[in-house]
A and B are shown apart, each in its own frame.
Chain A
Amino acid sequence: MRFMKLWQLLKRNEKLQLLLLTGLLFPPLSLNLLVVTTSHVRQMIIATIVLASPWPLILGFIWMHFRALRPSAPLRPISSSALSPRRSTSSKTRGPVVFRPPGSILLCIVSWLPISNKSIERVFRPLVAELQDEYIRAYAAGHHWESRFIRLRYYIAFLLTLGAFVASASLKRVVEIWKIIP
């Protein structure tokens, strides 16, 4: 009964249809449309920038995880045929492929950010070390999908750590400045 009422409401209200459709396709945009209905242009622009900004990053990480980064064998044995000089150059039989260990890209990203080596050693390297440990254990046990899930979970944990670190460092700096001011 409640569903039927909702359906009738949805059929009548075009604005609600548009919100639902955009909400399914791109959630931040639906929130923007909500702001548009209040006719505040400045709010709409701010909301667009704030809400759309993390999406390329999130989508990029998901794409990297499911497409580019396949589960890699931790200790892949090199076959003798792969080392022979007459190797096929086709894509399937190209020979041994060297994969990066999971988390190495995260450490590369961190090394490019303005973060001290001490903080990288104490905050980000232990996280990557535990990602590699858990990933390798799951992979060695034959749980390939679990290893993918672990990798994704640690990527999210990495983003949270980065956020918490930036917030903590900023707060620390603000307190230092506050103490300097007489």
Chain B
Amino acid sequence: MILRILIGHGGETYGLDLVKRSNGAVGRGTVYVLLDRMEDKGLIESREEEAPTDGYVGIPRRLYKPTGAGVRALHMMEIGELIVNGELAR
């Protein structure tokens, strides 16, 4: 789900945006743990944004984007789903 949103978004995005785009499928309390695990597996990469946006002060947010391995993993998962559903066999 997270990979699909990240790839669909096209660029870098942050955790709260992922929560909003998932329509309740991913919660604020679990999104960062999931992103951490995915980063460990090399599916996504992250960096801190350079400067706070719109002149606000605070800790810089973390931006996430999918890696090549993440894109390939999603494609493989989609092919797997198609096979399970029997759409490729026809």
Complex contacts, A154 vs chain B, CB 8 Å:
28
CB pair B57 A74 closer than 8 Å: yes
Residue A28, interface by CB 8 Å: no
Given contacts A122-B46, A127-B15, A160-B30, contact A132 B37 (CB under 8 A): no
- Measured between alpha carbons, how far is A163 from B32 in the docked complex, in Å? 12
- Measured between alpha carbons, how far is A168 from B38 in the docked complex, in Å? 12
A156 to chain B, nearest CB (A): 7
- Measured between alpha carbons, how far is A101 from B29 in the docked complex, in Å? 20
Interface stretch, picked from B1-9, B58-66, B72-80, is B58-66
Chain A to chain B: the 10 pairs with minimum beta-carbon distance, closest first: A160-B29, A132-B58, A157-B28, A129-B59, A126-B62, A164-B33, A157-B29, A123-B32, A129-B61, A130-B16
CB pair B29 A119 closer than 8 Å: no
> Which residues of B pack against A, CB within 8 Å?
14-16, 27-30, 32-33, 35-37, 39, 46, 52, 56-62
CB-contacts of A127-182 with B (<8 A)? 127-130, 132-134, 136-137, 140, 153-154, 156-161, 163-165, 168
Give the contacting residue for A126; candidates B32, B37, B52, B57; CB below 8 A.
B32
CB pair A134 B16 closer than 8 Å: yes
B65 to chain A, nearest CB (A): 14
Give the contacting residue for A130; candidates B15, B36, B46; CB below 8 A.
B15
Closest to A102 in B: B58
Main SS of the interface on chain A?
Answer: helix
Chain A interface residue bracket vs B: 20 to 34
CB pair B61 A126 closer than 8 Å: yes
A174 to chain B, nearest CB (A): 15
Given contacts A122-B39, A130-B16, A133-B56, contact A161 B62 (CB under 8 A): no
Complex contacts, A126 vs chain B, CB 8 Å:
14-15, 32, 61-62
CB pair B58 A133 closer than 8 Å: yes
Closest to B16 in A: A130
Residue A75, interface by CB 8 Å: yes
B63 to chain A, nearest CB (A): 9
B17 to chain A, nearest CB (A): 9
A148 to chain B, nearest CB (A): 17
Residue A125, interface by CB 8 Å: yes
B50 to chain A, nearest CB (A): 13
- Measured between alpha carbons, how far is A154 from B59 in the docked complex, in Å? 15
Complex contacts, A163 vs chain B, CB 8 Å:
29
